[in-house]
């Protein structure tokens, strides 16, 4: 019997200690973030705030790291449970349609000088990113913290040679005639249309051009996940389409989508992109670029330091421009990740004070120096010496930047699956698009 008592005592102590852990940290704002460069940067900024302003205001801020695959799952569960366990949610422009109703509008807090003691404001931030954080009734729901955009990465050394070497030019003409039906001249990537992109992809694929220094022309992301669909959206916009039409109705079953899908399908079907790219995403693309096996790719800005930075075997060989143009214009997808206040938080006022500091230039500067990419025009521009991609990004986003609306997050998963079925030829393009159109209409009817 003594032993049983002992076991019971030990268990009771353990239970109590768990309870104690749970009960502490009363005045700590809990902010959801996801692990990676963003949280590494925030980790460096937080102590500064906590030790200076936080101390004066009587609270501190902590990050809750939710892994990439769990961030939605957990946040959704918290939202559904109307839980006050975290005070600030991680969000992105395109998820507001899904999560906006669980978040607090920020406009009134920002306008209140009692709370906004730091003078944080939406001026100075890239306007498109602020607008991206607006949702119902044009209210602001989040502070944009990290800007992501799509670039066309290309091997500068190879393109230079293509533009000057007569023999290469001749091959380029012949290949474009053979595979695309028109004789095309090599051009500067900044002037490319999607056809030029395909022609260059053929040229840099060994299968079609044995002299090609790279094995494959481009790397096209194919993994079934929302972000893959966004990469394709650059092309879709270029052909005049959009996820939602002028009246806000979802729109995939159209001519523009067919044309844009043809481009992707050519890459996969003709072997212009590595065969395994059908399941590839960010990391796989990076490995292909770092291994020097592909010449072009439409890829995220965040890859820049990884493929072009010092520890890359191909350091300095890549240059970036906006993705190619279609007949209806040239677009570069971008979105911002950021944080907003949990509607069910019990410390909204503290959260609002913290948010108002996030809107200041002081924060943007600190955050950028720590490795974040805050869409604050002057900060990004001032850093373009250390991070050349920041300069490119400001230019590309301001000239060609385009967002997906707040409701896109609801259908991104189904979009990607059907698009992927189409470009891998698992189902005919028309059928996939009809399917997608119907599925997304059904889904959106619920929101």
Residue 242 corresponds to which tokens in the numbers above? 């959009």
Indicate whether 58 belongs to the interface with another protein (CB under 8 A): no
Give CA angle at 138 (395, 445), nearest 5°. Answer: 105
Question: Which of these ranges, 79-87, 254-262, 318-326, 344-352, lies near another protein under the rule CB under 8 A?
Answer: 79-87
- What's the number of CA atoms in the CB half-sphere (13 Å) around residue 437? 15
Ordered alpha helix ranges (H), 211-303: 226-238, 255-269, 282-290
* 381 sits near another protein (criterion: CB under 8 A): no
Nearer to another protein, 441 or 443 (CB): 443
Q: How far is the CB of 415 from another protein (least distance, A)?
A: 11
Which residue from 29, 45, 78, 200 is in contact with another protein, where contact means CB under 8 A? 78
User: Are the C-beta atoms of 292 and 313 separated by less than 8 Å?
Assistant: yes
What is the signed CA dihedral for 246, 252, 256, 262, rounded to 10 degrees? 160
- Tokens standing for residue 31: 């902010």
Task: Name which of residues 398 to 417 contact another protein (CB under 8 A).
Answer: 410, 413-414, 417
The correct pick among 5, 21, 26, 386 for binding another protein (CB under 8 A) is: 21
Residue 336 binding another protein, by CB under 8 A: no
**Across-strand partners of 48?**
none
12 binds another protein (CB under 8 A): no
State which of positions 417-436 bind another protein (CB under 8 A): 417-418, 420-422, 424, 426-427
Does position 444 interact with another protein (CB under 8 A)? The reply is no
In the complex, least distance from residue 195 CB atom to another protein, rounded to whole angstroms: 25
- Classified as helix, coil or strand, 56 is helix
Q: Which of 94, 290, 319, 402 binds another protein (CB under 8 A)?
A: 290
**How many residues sit close enough to another protein to count as binding (CB under 8 A)?**
88
Site membership for another protein, residue 443 (CB under 8 A): yes
Q: Tokens 């460069």 map to which residue?
A: 37
| Identified binder of another protein from the candidate list 110, 200, 263, 288, rule CB under 8 A | 288
**Segment interacting with another protein, rule: CB under 8 A, options 28-36, 49-57, 113-121, 186-194:** 28-36
Instruction: Let me know the angle formed at the C-alpha of 286 by 284 and 290, rounded to the nearest 5 degrees.
Output: 120
Say whether 318 sits in a helix, a strand or coil: strand
Label residue 270 exposed, middle or buried (CB < 10 Å: 0-12, 13-18, 19+).
middle
The answer to whether 391 and 399 are in contact (CB under 8 A) is no
Query: Which residues, other chains included, contact 200 with Cβ-Cβ below 8 Å and sequence gap of 6+?
Result: 154, 159, 162, 172, 186, 189, 192, 217, 295, 296
Check residue 15 for interaction with another protein (CB under 8 A): yes
Q: Which of 156, 174, 278, 444 touches another protein by CB under 8 A?
A: 278
Q: Does 18 bind another protein (CB under 8 A)?
A: yes
From candidates 45, 63, 368, 396, binder to another protein by CB under 8 A:
63
Binding mask 291-310 for another protein (x = CB under 8 A): xxx------x-xx--x----
Q: Which of residues 337-356 bind another protein (CB under 8 A)?
A: 337
43: contact with another protein by CB under 8 A: yes
Q: How does DSSP assign 190-201, residue by residue?
A: GG-BHHHHHHHH
Tell whether residue 38 is a contact of another protein (CB under 8 A).
yes
- By CB under 8 A, tell whether 158 contacts another protein: no
One of 35, 124, 388, 405 touching another protein (CB under 8 A): 35
Q: No. of H helices and E strands in the chain?
A: 20, 12
183-242 binders of another protein (CB under 8 A): 222-226
Burial class (CB in 10 A: 0-12, 13-18, 19+), 202: buried
Residue 164 found at the interface with another protein (CB under 8 A): no
119, 213, 248, 313: which one binds another protein (CB under 8 A): 313
Task: Out of 81, 111, 182, 381, name the contact with another protein by CB under 8 A.
Answer: 81
111 binds another protein (CB under 8 A): no
Please, what is the minimum distance in Å from the beta carbon of residue 383 to another protein?
20
| Site for another protein contains 37 (CB under 8 A) | yes
Which of 29, 60, 61, 64 binds another protein (CB under 8 A)? It is 64
In the region spanning residues 245 to 274, those forming contacts with another protein, defined by CB under 8 A, are 274
**In whole angstroms, what is the distance from residue 31 CA to residue 89 CA?**
6
**What CA–CA distance (Å, rounded) separates 142 from 410?**
18
Which one of 97-105, 169-177, 243-251, 353-361 is the stretch in contact with another protein (CB under 8 A)? 97-105
- Binding of residue 3 to another protein (CB under 8 A): yes
Beta strand 143-155 with 103-104 is unpaired
Q: How far apart are CA 375 and CA 393, in angstroms?
A: 10
Residue 128 contacts residue 403 (beta carbons within 8 Å): yes
Q: Which residues, in sequence order, are bridge partners of residue 332? A: 401
């Amino acid at each position: 019997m003594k032993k049983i008592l002992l076991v019971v005592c030990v268990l009771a102590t353990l239970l109590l200690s768990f309870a104690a852990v749970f009960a502490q940290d009363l005045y700590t704002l809990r902010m959801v973030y996801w692990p990676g460069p963003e949280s590494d940067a925030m980790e460096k900024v937080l102590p500064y705030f906590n030790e200076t302003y936080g101390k004066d205001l009587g609270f501190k801020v902590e990050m809750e790291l939710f892994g990439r695959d769990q961030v939605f799952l957990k946040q959704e569960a918290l939202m559904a449970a109307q839980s006050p366990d975290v005070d600030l949610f991680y969000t992105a422009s395109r998820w507001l349609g899904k999560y906006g109703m669980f978040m607090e509008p920020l406009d009134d807090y920002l306008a209140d000088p009692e709370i906004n003691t730091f003078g944080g404001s939406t001026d100075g931030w890239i306007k498109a990113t602020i607008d991206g954080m607006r949702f119902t009734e044009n209210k602001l729901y989040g502070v944009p913290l990290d800007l992501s955009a799509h670039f066309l990465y290309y091997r500068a050394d190879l393109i230079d040679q293509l533009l000057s070497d007569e023999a290469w030019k001749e091959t380029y003409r012949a290949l474009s005639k053979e595979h695309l039906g028109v004789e095309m001249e090599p051009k500067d990537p900044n002037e490319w249309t999607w056809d030029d992109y395909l022609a260059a992809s053929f040229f840099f694929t060994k299968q079609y051009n044995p002299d090609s220094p790279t094995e494959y022309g481009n790397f096209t992301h194919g993994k079934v996940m929302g972000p893959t669909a966004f990469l394709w959206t650059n092309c879709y916009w270029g052909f005049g389409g959009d996820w939602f039409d002028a009246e806000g109705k979802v729109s995939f079953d159209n001519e523009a989508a067919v044309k844009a899908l043809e481009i992707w399908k050519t890459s996969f079907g003709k072997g212009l992109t590595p065969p395994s790219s059908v399941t590839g995403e960010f990391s796989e693309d990076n490995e292909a670029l770092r291994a020097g096996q592909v010449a072009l790719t439409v890829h995220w800005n965040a890859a820049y330091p990884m493929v072009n930075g010092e520890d890359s075997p191909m350091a300095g060989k890549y240059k970036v421009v906006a993705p190619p143009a279609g007949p209806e214009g040239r677009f570069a997808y971008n979105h911002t990740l950021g944080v907003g206040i949990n509607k069910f938080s019990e410390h909204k006022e503290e959260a609002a004070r913290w948010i108002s500091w996030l809107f200041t230039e002081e924060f943007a500067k600190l955050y950028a120096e720590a490795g974040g990419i805050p869409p604050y025009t002057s900060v990004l521009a001032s850093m373009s010496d250390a991070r050349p991609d920041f300069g490119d990004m400001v230019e590309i986003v301001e000239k060609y930047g385009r967002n997906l609306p707040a409701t896109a997050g609801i259908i991104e998963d189904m979009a990607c699956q059907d698009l992927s079925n189409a470009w891998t030829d698992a189902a005919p393009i028309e059928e996939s698009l009809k399917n997608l159109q119907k599925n997304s209409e059904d889904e959106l009817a619920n929101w």
